[in-house]
Amino acid sequence: MSTGVRGDKGSYSWVLTICLVESVDGMTARFHKAQWELLKRISTRITNEIPEVARVVYDITHKPPSTIEWE
C-alpha cells in the first residue's frame, strides 16, 4: 500500500509493479529497457483509470537473482 492524492484529499491505495522481461529459455531473464514515454503513458493511464492504484513502479531486476513471479 502507498499514500497518494486523489482530488483534494490523501489516499491510501495499492502499488502496481510493471515487469517487462526478455528471455530465451525461461530459466534466465533480463529486464526489458522500455522507453520512458511508454512507461509514462502506462503509469498515467493506470493511475487515472484505476482509483485503487496510487503508485506504479518499474521492476528492473534480472532473473537470477530475482524471479519473474512475485509472492
Convert the pLDDT of each residue in 18-67 to its tens digit.
999 999 988 899 999 999 999 999 999 999 999 999 999 999 999 998 88
Q: Is the peptide bond before 65 cis (omega within 30 degrees of 0)?
A: yes
pLDDT mean over 1-18: 87
Return the H-helix or E-strand segment holding 6: strand 2-6
pTM greater than the 0.85 cutoff: no
Checking if the pLDDT of 70 tops 80, the result is: no
Under the banding of pLDDT at 50, 70 and 90, the label for residue 8 is confident
The residues, any chain, with a CB within 8 Å of residue 46's CB and separated by 6 or more, are 16, 53, 56
What is the band of 69 on the pLDDT scale with cuts at 50, 70, 90?
A: confident
Domains of the chain: 2-58 (3.30.300.10)
DSSP 3-state of 16: strand
Here the cell at position 47 is 493511475
